[in-house]
Structure 1
Amino acid sequence: MRVTYFFRKPYQDYFSIENVFKIVQQALPKEIVVNNYHLKFYSTGVITRLKSCFEVLRHQGDINHITGDIHYVSYFLPKKRTVLTIHDLAPLENSTGLKHAILKFFWYQLPIKSVAYVTVISNYTKKALLDIIDVNPDKIKVIHNPFAAQLTFQPKKEMPEVPVLLQIGTAYNKNLEGLIQAIGDLTVELVIIGKLSIEQITLLESASLNYSNAHDLEYDEVVAYYEKADLVCFASFYEGFGLPILEAQAIGRPVITSNRCAMPEVAGDSAILIDPLDIQAYRNAIKSVLSNSEERKALVDKGIINTQRFTASQIAEQYVELYKSLDNHV
């Protein structure tokens, strides 16, 4: 069986979708022949998107899998042989009025009607879709994201004099600004992965924080930053999944994350959950983890158990079952 995976044109600093399916593909059985195709054009403008729709027609497999962020290429692909992965509803979260209606129809309603199955990466995303679109729930399959097998368990025994806090992401939803407020005058080093805006740099400088920043990294470099960290802070406002939770836990780092969206689903009881708007709660959680070795050990132990729900082999098996169900009905 040949499966063609259709990807967006690559962006710098935005490679989570590509990483997820790279992990999945490495765990697929040999009977699945993988073909990866990346669009030649960025997702901007009607004409460019139409060109992409015609572009994918020349690169079809026995099964076509649209990996996300380019839902519109489903329009011209054969419905019975096409799967679409929807990662979140972020575009709708940030739009209103006519723009909201257009995005809802062309980015969600029409693509969902154009494919055999939709996979979503969390039960939260499935519920959010069903709340706004009239579709048979059986058409929406929840298949979580896996974490990379290269992430090895390397717990730290002691907390250093100046602990390292790692923040993954600088986009609006990542709540970097909240973390900056929360750590205030704490004696910590803040490491931020992702390109900073001028406003964020100004805020960091005005807070007189000990921080460093890195972006445009290879995945191995990101892993090295997880290994250096003592605590991973991921208290986002919005996430369709929250892969950094699992990445941190697989390496053996305690995690503070949000009690919103899919993050409680991913973390379970293995991380500290806070309201991302409650700066004092965020600060208290950070101080507690840094000062309490028993709490850190409990979080690390629960974290490594939690990751076993999201191994690449388990996730790949779920995709294989879905592909076979399509292949048997073509």
Structure 2
Amino acid sequence: MKVTFFLRFPNPKFLSIEKLFSILNKEMTKKGIDIKNVYEVDPNFSLSGFMKTNLFFKKNQSEINHITGAIHWSVFLLNRKNTVLTIHDAGNISELSGVKKYFFKFLWFYLPLKKLKYVTVISEKTKKELTEFFPWAENKITVIPNCLTIPYQDFEKPVNSKPVILAVGYYPKKNLDRILQAIIGIDVKIIIVGLLSPERIKFLQENNIDYINFERASEDELIQAYKDSDILCFPSLYEGFGLPILEAQAMKCCVITSNISPMKEVAGDGAILVNPNSMEEIRKAINDIISDQELKNKLLKLGQQNVIKYHPDVIAEQYINYYKMILNNK
């Protein structure tokens, strides 16, 4: 089987989709699938770039055409009978307003969903969001979750002199301010992955919080951060999936995450679920893990069990079976 992955123009600031599908590429190749990567022509969205990319993609079709995410508008000249679009989330629709919202909703979602027969999403949450906006598209949408995107390793977890908490992301939806408020007065160190504003640095200093900051962590730095941490605190207000949950579970971190979709489904039983709007619940969860070794051991065991179903081999097989279904229906 020949598959073309159509990807957005490479940008070092946005690599999550590319990282995911590079791992799936390797797994599918092991299973005998012939995969070619084809990239968006122009990094800046414009009428010229729109036309060039759609024409270029048309020339590079194969047995299965797979738009891997973000550039939904690039489907228009592809054969609808053997083209798949993966949508990672629909949050931007709600964040926009006015003409910009209408344009984005129409070009990025309405028209691609109308054209195509086959759409995958990475969580039931994303499917629910899309069907609320476009109820007529429900039967076109299949959920295939993300896979673990860091290599699974068996290693000895270090014994830290005091508990180390990991916080990933700095955008408002990542809820970093509540995490920082929650650890005031608790004797912990926090590793923060993401850009810290001057205001947050001042807050950390004024409250004598012991912290390390990676403005933009490399793959190796991120893996080491997981290895060095005891707890991932991830009470996000919105996610399309919530990959850090799986990464932390694979790297023997206890997980605290939100009691909302999709985080609660992704975490399985291997996490403490909290109301992301409650600093008190976040603080209590941190203290519970620190003070209760039995709870900590239970979370680690259940987390390791949960990760198995998101192994790249498992998710690659789900996509291959989906492709086979498409070819059988062609």
Give TM-score, length-normalised by structure 1.
0.93
Consecutive unaligned residues of structure 2, counting only runs of 5 or more, are none
Distance 1:288 1:237, change over 3 A: same
Between the aligned partners of 1:220 and 1:3, the Cα distance in structure 2 is 30
Q: Deviations over 1:132-181 (max 9, x none)?
A: 103343310100111147222446375x3322111111122111111111
Q: Which residue of 2 aligns with 1:156?
A: 157
Between the aligned partners of 1:311 and 1:256, the Cα distance in structure 2 is 21
Distance 1:273 1:66, change over 3 A: same
Q: Which residue of 2 aligns with 1:10?
A: 10
SS of alignment partner, residue 135 of structure 2: coil
Instruction: Answer yes or no: is the 8 Å Cα contact 1:175–1:236 preserved in 2.
Output: yes
SS of alignment partner, residue 329 of structure 2: coil
Q: Which residue of 2 aligns with 1:251?
A: 251
Between the aligned partners of 1:167 and 1:269, the Cα distance in structure 2 is 20
Q: Which residue of 2 aligns with 1:285?
A: 285
Counterpart AA for 2:310 = F
Instruction: Answer yes or no: is the 8 Å Cα contact 1:155–1:253 preserved in 2.
Output: no
Q: Which residue of 2 aligns with 1:22?
A: 22
Distance 1:32 1:169, change over 3 A: same
Query: Residue 43 of structure 1: CA displacement?
Result: 4.7
Instruction: Answer yes or no: is the 8 Å Cα contact 1:87–1:121 preserved in 2.
Output: yes
Query: Residue 202 of structure 1: CA displacement?
Result: 3.9
Instruction: Answer yes or no: is the 8 Å Cα contact 2:23–2:149 preserved in 1.
Output: yes
Q: Deviations over 1:221-272 (max 9, x none)?
A: 3111111111111111100111110111012110001112300110122101
Query: Residue 42 of structure 1: CA displacement?
Result: 2.3
Query: Residue 208 of structure 1: CA displacement?
Result: 3.3
**Structure 1 range deviating more: 79-88 or 42-51:** 42-51
Q: Which residue of 2 aligns with 1:128?
A: 129
Between the aligned partners of 2:58 and 2:216, the Cα distance in structure 1 is 32
Between the aligned partners of 1:192 and 1:201, the Cα distance in structure 2 is 11
Counterpart AA for 1:122 = S
SS of alignment partner, residue 76 of structure 1: coil
Q: Which residue of 2 aligns with 1:178?
A: 178
Q: Which residue of 1 aligns with 2:241?
A: 241
Distance 1:26 1:261, change over 3 A: same
Between the aligned partners of 1:106 and 1:73, the Cα distance in structure 2 is 10
Q: Which residue of 2 aligns with 1:275?
A: 275
Instruction: Answer yes or no: is the 8 Å Cα contact 1:155–1:252 preserved in 2.
Output: no
Instruction: Answer yes or no: is the 8 Å Cα contact 1:43–1:70 preserved in 2.
Output: no
Q: Identity percentage over the alignment?
A: 39
Do structure 1's residue 78 and structure 2's residue 70 form an aligned pair? no
Count residues with an aligned counterpart: 329
Query: Residue 76 of structure 1: CA displacement?
Result: 1.9
Consecutive unaligned residues of structure 1, counting only runs of 5 or more, are none
**Structure 1 range deviating more: 297-306 or 208-217:** 208-217
Counterpart AA for 1:2 = K
Q: Deviations over 1:101-127 (max 9, x none)?
A: 222211111111222311001111111
Q: Which residue of 2 aligns with 1:36?
A: 37
Counterpart AA for 1:184 = I
Between the aligned partners of 1:110 and 1:237, the Cα distance in structure 2 is 29
Query: Residue 309 of structure 1: CA displacement?
Result: 1.8
SS of alignment partner, residue 65 of structure 1: strand
Distance 1:214 1:13, change over 3 A: farther
Query: Residue 278 of structure 1: CA displacement?
Result: 0.3
Instruction: Answer yes or no: is the 8 Å Cα contact 1:81–1:326 preserved in 2.
Output: yes
**Structure 1 range deviating more: 239-248 or 132-141:** 132-141
SS of alignment partner, residue 25 of structure 2: helix
Distance 1:203 1:50, change over 3 A: farther
Between the aligned partners of 1:197 and 1:113, the Cα distance in structure 2 is 42
Instruction: Answer yes or no: is the 8 Å Cα contact 2:113–2:137 preserved in 1.
Output: no
Trace 1:188-207 onto structure 2 (pairs within 5 A).
Answer: 188-207=188-207
Q: Which residue of 2 aligns with 1:315?
A: 315
SS of alignment partner, residue 187 of structure 2: coil
Q: Deviations over 1:33-68 (max 9, x none)?
A: 011122242253444333322332232222111111
Between the aligned partners of 2:197 and 2:62, the Cα distance in structure 1 is 41
Counterpart AA for 1:20 = L
Counterpart AA for 1:278 = S
Instruction: Answer yes or no: is the 8 Å Cα contact 2:41–2:52 preserved in 1.
Output: no
Counterpart AA for 1:285 = A
